[in-house]
Every structure is written in C-alpha cells, then in structure tokens.
Amino acid sequence: MNLNFFDQFLSPQMLGVPLILLAMIIPPMLIFTTTNRLIPNRLITLQSWVVFMFTKQLMLPLNKPGHKWAAVLLSLMLFLLSLNMLGLLPYTFTPTTQLSMNMGLAVPLWLATVLVGLRNQPTISLGHLLPEGTPTPLVPILIIIETISLFIRPLALGVRLTANLTAGHLLIQLISTATFVLLPIMTTTATLTLIVLLLLTGLEIAVAMIQAYVFTLLLSLYLQENV
C-alpha cells in the first residue's frame, strides 16, 4: 500500500459525521463557560489576564474608532489558536490547513477594513495608492503596483497560515514515519529521530500560536490604515 502524506489534510469522518464540525464546535465550548462566580479558578484568571494583555497590545496602534474591532479580532485570535492547537493532537483534523477556509476568513475581514476606510476617510484611503512626492511619469505605474499589492493582502494572509501549518504537519508525519520504520532495525538512530520529533512538536506548538497572532496582528495593521 502506498503512503500518501497528504491524506492527513483530508477531513476524517466518524459515523458519517465530518470531524471538522467537532473541531469548530468544541473550542467555543471550552472557552466560553458559564458560572455564577466572578473568578471561577486560577486557570480562568490566567486566561483572562492573557486575553486582556493581548487585547491591550493589539489596540495600542489603533485610535478610538478602531477599538470597536477588539471583540472581532480577539474572537478571531482565540478561534484560530484553538483550531491550530487541537490540530496537533492525534487523530484530529486541522481546518486551518485548508486554503479555502483561511481565504474565507481573510477576504471578508480584509474587505471590511477597506470599506471602513472608504466610508470614513475616502481621501486618505485612496491616497495610500500614491505615495507623496512621486514623480509625475511614475504615477500610473505606482497606482497599478499599489492596487495589486492591496488586493494581494488577503491572499498573503490565507497562504501564509496554510503554508506554515501544512509544512509543519508534513515534517511531523515524515519524521514520525522515519522513527517508526527505523525502530526495529536501528534503535539508536530511531531514538535520535524521536528526540528531533519531540523538539519539532514543541516548535509546531509555538508556530500554531504565533501564526494565529500574526494573522490577527496583520488584520489590525490593515485596520490601522483605514481608521
């Protein structure tokens, strides 16, 4: 039987139910819990502190009108972080390795930031297409270049997230397969490969968190230009 390393990016099913539904429903159930106590436990306190610090850091470059986006950006960050982390567990599926889903998140949010800028300050938003002090012969070329770079932004958001997670998952599967194959015949080499696999897993946990933060941070920077 031939081994296809890209089979891990297909949505598995259990009893005919795609596991992608569970992967998208369980994170909100883990994060948003109801209780009568003001501070339930130390874990929730730590989670609240992390959320507060992230929101504070994210809102620093934005002015007052941009602060109304705090809930949207925070929800997006927690959503991506949960999906990325749950996707590292065995027998799970990572929806954020699918370009279609990432583009479905990137395009509407990017378009919303552009429309906000065109509605609130159309002159300044359109002025970003032409840097100040541009020589007259270069004006048409620069407008075309800036327009193309503007429309590439959502594509870059989606592809960056997809490529980083896909590459990490492929490396983990390649090294784990090598460890499994080498274990009966070359125990020492298999042990070293296992150590590399553990280090790579730790790196992938960091990448999962960083990519969720970078996705949200870039959206906030796009929003900063338009509010």
| DSSP secondary structure code for residue 170 in this structure | H
| DSSP code of residue 10 | S
Tell me 4's DSSP state: -
Integer distance in angstroms from the first to the last C-alpha of the chain?
Answer: 56
pLDDT at 1: 40
- Whole-number average pLDDT of the chain: 82
Boundaries of domain holding 78: 7-226
Task: Tell me which H or E stretch contains 18.
Answer: strand 17-18
**Is residue 128 one of the residues assigned to a domain?**
yes
Q: Write out pLDDT tens, residues 27-80.
A: 666 655 666 666 667 777 787 888 888 888 888 877 787 788 888 888 898 889
**Minimum mean pLDDT among 51-60, 89-98, 154-163, 169-178: which range?**
89-98
Residue 32 covered by a domain: yes
Is residue 33 assigned to a domain? yes
Which carries the bigger pLDDT value, residue 92 or residue 158?
158
Q: Kindly state whether residue 71 falls inside one of the protein's structural domains.
A: yes
Q: Structural domain tally of the chain? A: 1
Global pTM reads 0.79
The answer to whether the CB of 23 falls within 8 A of the CB of 93 is: yes
Instruction: Let me know if residue 2 belongs to a domain.
Output: no
In a domain, 35, yes or no: yes
Say what the pLDDT of residue 25 is. 72
Q: 185 lies in a domain?
A: yes
Whether residue 1 lies inside any domain: the answer is no
